[in-house]
Structure 1
């Protein structure tokens, strides 16, 4: 009986306990599942609310989708013959030929007359002439001191430059540019400047003026042209563009409101003038402006816009500008237009945008296709987009479709993840995402319709991850395997370790044998003085020099320590071991001089083209090998990976001595001893460099041995050794004769060296050295 009772008691005492455990587990899993479902629904609801509000970060995601698509599939570039647009460029060539900007408006009058005579349809200025021309005869008369009254009166009697330009404008369809600003104008624009040259803008489909005003872009004030030019122009348009939240120009407003007047943008006004339009209609509904229609004698141009009246500019590949041969498809030099140097018919029938690409005048805009696009080319792309009917559309109802898609995806995941598991759901989700991305790409490339899948994709995947997380939690409660399932997600990478444990970034370093290279520009002060009026040009030149020199160092396993103005400091054998550190450093130094020759040749050709003086860039280098401390140097707040040690200082001093000995590269003895089998070197001196009392033997790096004739180098080496022996024996006359004989060898690589020694020996003749002189030369300069 006791055994039976024991069995019974075991059954009754154990089984119920096990059943209670299962019941508890199921209950916890059920609650976790429900929490996950509620969280997923909450994410979707919050996501839909955010999408309706459409804050700037969400809009930025959508805009980045457009950027990506525009870069991957830019609008096909029309050929020079196909494009209806041309840019007359006030470029560097034009400034060189016609004088500095601003030009007298008589020159601009000549430009407009040339465009008229060459068959252009219309010209629009991407600039504003807000003040009278100060070079007009009357204004010059007022500024001349001591002129006789008759001359002054004669000058005053001549028409102003503005009047000359205005008279030409009345004979050729010209649109003057105006600029909208967000600040109050110092002087209120005239009624003429604020007026429009068409019959007006009216909203239809039941939208009242208040609704229209709430959607159209508004500028506080207007910067207009002088009255004479405004009066003589065929049209007036705003060339201001509105940047997006991230500073990129993607959409350009077709209409803007300025001081109560609805003004067209430059491109629309050019179209109106070109095709003799008389009215612009803005079609609206409660969602905003739907499209803008330009009524012309050739029919209506329907321009689809977003709710705020902006056109998505579909950019083509950037055109080449500021080219002397006018090789761009859009750009032509203004001087060539005026001087009638363009091929016949080059501008016939085209809409002309007049702007500038000259340095200092260039209006740079960041665009999806290129981060530094001239602003005038934005207008050209907009004109091509409109004239080729190549519009990108983002319908207002698209947001509704995106939200419906998010809801359906969320419901499917809520149903599937608990049943088929997250892996299969993820595979299905990825397949669906691929289909959506493919569909979005198809709609953009084939239908020119933008479908944003980024935000909805992020929201769907956020929902997926919430559901997946709760699914894993449920499995952990049921199967006790949650720790193993989550372990793969808890392994941080190196960056995360450093971010979470900043105490691992400690100061200090290690002692290593390293090879150091210093390189500096010779005569940099003279070069700097030639750029005193163009500091940006000097910066560009230094960057242009340092880039190829740096590349040669990096190609040969070197590490750039720092740039010090026009100087480069580099080292080898850290952080990676380099058994051939001396060879790689010498090879890099020789390659740097070859790269410099290439750069100087390019600059000399450029100087000839521009008609300016050519100042060649020259460098010197010093290389030394020795023990150094390498590691993180600096303070607790900021530090760099760098080197310290006497060998570093000596390398710097050797670079300075390259000029003193008339050679390109000076080597320390530790470096020279490791490279003599591969490189041709020559001893320079036994010298006590500035800041050191001990003398060091230094050498010149001449070339790769394979590049020199062995017999000639051997003969040079023997004579050079004899020369130094005679010099150190104070046998000045014999040493000088030997130096003269050796000058021409090796293509004169050491000619400057022997000349420097000749001058030094002249000084020693006048100031004799002691008889026991040890041959050490004490340097007085760095």
Structure 2
């Protein structure tokens, strides 16, 4: 509205026409300055020009420019010059400002506007009309900062949403944000005449969405590959699918979880191994025949096969995913494992006949314990290796290695008994002390389910063992031997266990344990 020509401020045609029309003498330019000389978030400059001595003022941008609010072509008041010169038509211009357009040979220069090409006179008349009617389009000084602030906040939320959830939710949020921003900009334009530009934030948000979605896709694929590398052979297909959908279920660092550990190995495998040392294919085939049904048993009961060690398998329940009644599922798996050597023994028997060797049937030793363990990366920084360590694993390994001394295939610990309660037939076989548990923890033989537990045969055997250990732990060796003899005559007796305690009693008679002995066997640290 004001131009600097040769150091002088020259008003625009529209502004000067209004000044002359109102017999005013000059103009007042209002400049917005920051308080204290410092401002954040606003642009300083001219914000209003007033015709001195009148109520007419023009709201401008900081550069003094007037943003025109064009009317449609049908609303514009335009008259051809010949109509003014024609005496037959009376035109009333009283109280109005007429803008006469200039043309050369009837062709006036036009300027492109949002309503189409317009001559300069029409543009000036639009400005005069707009000022006279006090209708202005204003871009607030804070508009740019508001647009950038909205872009920053919405962009941050969009990134977090995409990275933490699925891209579809980010896309829906993007659509909602763009729709809300566009409607808000139009609403402010329609009601207040404010010019808020949603275009740049929309383009920027679309770019943020595309970039973040691509980066997140690469991240998800990397996490899926990581999960598959770690868990494909450890978990069942259904459990693996759950972790692939939520890879963060695998902790990057160690954490405590209550787990049930099962360690199963072969009894008598050393003899079989010696026969096949020079035939590695057959040796590996035997182990594959052993581990394959056991692995399926673990997977079918929501367990994880943590690793294979020689002829031993370590399975974990309740890691990495929560498993309801994990101790009972491990117990059910252990009972089924006892029955899964038939096909392997049939194969070994046929192969022994082929080689004219005696057949040595294989059986399993299983240790099970429940308790708190550390789960997470048990490898190196360079090579992540998900694993489980802790007392339940150590005790299960100890029980597995000593199950051959106790006799029954499945031996469980105190923690497991506390977890399953009275739902299984558990028969006490030992009291084992360690540096961490000087008073000892009890070991039990798992003989069957609740039906076995309710049978009279098991009840009689349980009473016999109670009498045996009462005499044994009170160092009444004669009474203990009598109880051993009594137990041998019961249905379901465990001869291997009783032979084992006969040997212990003989050793303790030679080397008395002392008056403060509680009947535990000191196993040391393991």
Question: 1:357-756, aligned counterparts within 5 Å?
Answer: 491=213, 496-498=218-220, 507-608=252-353, 611-688=356-433, 695-707=440-452, 710-748=455-493, 750-756=494-500
Counterparts of 1:506 and 1:781, CA distance in 2 = 29
SS at match of 1:702: strand
Per the TM alignment, residue 15 of structure 1 is displaced from its structure 2 partner at its CA by 5.1
SS of match in other structure, 1:670? helix
Encode CA deviations 1:445-485: one digit per residue, 9 max, x unaligned. Answer: xxxxxxxxxxxxxxxxxxxxxxxxxxxxxxxxxxx999979
Residues 691 and 526 of structure 1: CA distance in aligned 2, closer, same or farther (over 3 Å): farther
Of residues 108, 113, 118, the one that matches 1:14 is: 113
Task: Name the structure 2 match of 1:153.
Answer: none
Deviates more, 1:499-508 or 1:724-733: 499-508
Whether 2:489 is the aligned partner of 1:767: answer no
The 1:16–1:671 alpha-carbon spacing in structure 2 relative to 1, beyond 3 Å, is same
Using the alignment, how far apart are the partners of 1:500 and 1:528 within structure 2?
Answer: 41
Give the Cα separation in 2 of the matches to 1:619 and 1:18.
94
1:722 Cα deviation after fit = 1.0
The answer to whether the aligner puts 1:757 opposite 2:504 as a matched pair is no
Q: Report the Cα distance in structure 2 between the residues aligned to 1:482 and 1:716, rounded to whole angstroms.
A: 78
Among 765, 773, 776, the residue aligned to 2:520: 776
Mark the CA change 1:668 to 1:482 in structure 2 (over 3 Å): closer, same or farther: same
Mapped contact 2:477–2:505 kept (Cα < 8 A):
yes
For the Cα contact (< 8 Å) 2:458–2:492, is it kept in 1? no
Does the 8 Å CA contact 2:251/2:376 hold for their aligned counterparts?
no
Query: Take 2:367 and 2:455, find their aligned partners in 1: how far apart are those partners?
Result: 25
**Residue-by-residue CA offset, 1:271-296 (whole Å, 9 max, x unaligned):** xxxxxxxxxxxxxxxxxxxxxxxxxx
Q: Deviations over 1:535-586 (max 9, x none)?
A: 2211111111111111111111110111111111111111121121111111
**Contact persistence 1:662–1:756 (CA under 8 A):** no
Q: Give the structure-2-normalised TM-score.
A: 0.54
State the Cα distance separating 1:683 from its structure 2 match. Answer: 0.9
Residues 739 and 641 of structure 1: CA distance in aligned 2, closer, same or farther (over 3 Å): same
Q: 1:6 to 1:691 in 2, by over 3 A?
A: farther
Shift of the alpha carbon at 1:643? 1.1
| Deviations, residues 352-381 of structure 1 (Å, cap 9, x unaligned) | xxxxxxxxxxxxxxxxxxxxxxxxxxxxxx
Q: Is the 8 A contact 1:513 1:573 kept in 2?
A: yes
> CA separation of 1:10/1:662 partners in 2, compared to 1, >3 Å: closer, same or farther?
farther
Distance (Å, rounded) in 2 between the aligned partners of 1:493 and 1:677:
53
Equivalents in 1 of 2:432, 2:294: separation in Å?
28
Over aligned residue pairs, what C-alpha RMSD do you find?
3.9
Equivalent pairs, count: 322
Structure 2: tracts of 5 or more residues without a match: 1-12, 15-76, 79-97, 102-107, 119-201, 227-246
Question: What SS does structure 2 have at the residue aligned with 1:508?
Answer: coil
Contact 2:370 2:419 in 1 (8 A): no
- Structure 1 pair 694/765, CA: closer, same or farther in 2 (3 Å)? closer
Residue deviations 1:202-236 (CA, integer Å, cap 9, x gap): xxxxxxxxxxxxxxxxxxxxxxxxxxxxxxxxxxx
CA distance in 2, matches of 1:18, 1:643: 77
Task: Say if 1:708 and 1:746, in contact at 8 Å, map to a contact too.
Answer: no
- Determine the structure 2 residue equivalent to 1:72: none
CA contact (8 A) 2:255 2:374 kept: yes
Alpha-carbon shift at residue 727 of structure 1 (Å):
1.1
Q: Deviations over 1:246-282 (max 9, x none)?
A: xxxxxxxxxxxxxxxxxxxxxxxxxxxxxxxxxxxxx
Q: Using a 3 Å threshold, how does the CA distance of structure 1 residues 690 and 527 change in structure 2: closer, same or farther? A: farther
Indicate the residue corresponding to 1:37 in structure 2: none
Deviation at 1:588, TM superposition (A): 0.7
Contact 1:623 1:667 in 2 (8 A): yes
Give the direction of change, closer, same or farther, for the CA distance of 1:516–1:16 in structure 2 (3 Å limit): same
Unaligned residue ranges in structure 1 (runs of 5+): 20-479
Summarize the Cα distance change of 1:665–1:494 in structure 2 as closer, same or farther, 3 Å threshold.
farther
* Distance in 1, Cα, partners of 2:299 & 2:292: 11
- Partners of 2:268 and 2:356 lie apart in 1 by 22
**Alpha-carbon spacing, 1:10–1:557, altered in 2? closer, same or farther (3 Å):** farther
Whole-angstrom CA distance in 1 between matches of 2:499 and 2:404: 13
Deviation at 1:757, TM superposition (A): 0.7
SS of corresponding position for 1:699: strand
Q: TM-score by structure 1 length?
A: 0.37
- The structure, 1 or 2, with the larger RCO (C-alpha pairs under 8 Å, 6+ apart) is 1
